[in-house]
Amino acid sequence: MHGFVLGLSSNRLAEETGLQKTRILRALTCLRSVVLREPDEVFSGIVEVDETYVGGQRRNQRKARRAVPSKHGRGTSKTPVFGILCREGKVWAEVVPNIQAETLLPLITKQVLAGSTVCSDTLVSYTGVAAKGYVHRLVDHHATYSDGKGTHINGLEGFWGYLKRSLASRGGIRREKLPLFLAEYVWRYNHRKQSISMQISDLMKLLGTYREKVTI
């Protein structure tokens, strides 16, 4: 757990512990599964919502994937991820099948307390936010990234940058593993102000509630 909190690679952990790398990988998968199950916090106040796309560089993709022409932004073949950031400093994110309104709006109503102020870009999927009982503030990224009055999604954009840099440093991961790694970096971001000992303590508590039998 100490190595996990420090962000050490599986190779480094295997060297330091003398354990087989396969066993280290199973242990890391167990910890990521645990933080994936950390109870979601319902946000309130001013929140930011946004979507992004995650995927490795084309030279790191399988041949079959590289053969498919890639687009940038919406319409890309990369994996969509939706996120919500509370201006108080925490983030929530989840892999989603698409960025349509019927997918994103239920997630907003589930994770954000009614009456809160929701800041978003001008994606048409967010059109119904106000009708769900929120104060909806829009920022048009074709014109500006902030209106100077607090309407922006810069905090969430910053998290997306952190997430993509962290994933890129791993040299690429399988798409089916993305929810586990996404949960890891959400957890790291939300606990970034805690000491190493406090983070380990929180992991211990989560492990105590992890009821599924996991063989390491």
- In CATH, what is the architecture of 40-172? 2-Layer Sandwich (3.30)
The widest CA-to-CA distance across the chain, in whole angstroms, is 57
Sign for the CA dihedral angle at 139, 142, 143, 145 comes to positive
Residues of the chain with CATH 3.30.420.10: 40-172
| CA distance linking residue 122 with residue 126, whole number of Å | 7
pLDDT digits 0-9 by tens, 59-111 = 444 444 444 444 444 556 789 999 999 998 899 999 999 999 999 999 999 99
In this structure, the number of other CB atoms found within 10 A of the CB of residue 123 comes to 16
In Å, how far are 38, 117, 134, 190 from 47, measured between CA atoms? 20, 6, 10, 15
Q: Residue 148 in contact with residue 41, Cβ under 8 Å? A: no
Task: Report phi then psi at 143, rounded to 5.
Answer: -110, -40
pLDDT digits 0-9 by tens, 22-51 = 999 999 999 999 999 888 899 999 999 999
Comparison of pLDDT for 209 and 58, the residue scoring more = 209
Residue 213 pLDDT: 47
Task: Give 43's DSSP letter.
Answer: B
The stretch 167-187 carries a mean pLDDT of 91
In this structure, the number of other CB atoms found within 10 A of the CB of residue 174 comes to 10
pLDDT digits 0-9 by tens, 106-152 = 999 999 999 999 999 999 999 999 999 999 999 876 655 555 667 88
Length in residues, the chain = 216
Of 79, 127, 89, 122, give the one whose Cα is nearest residue 108.
127
The reported pTM is: 0.84
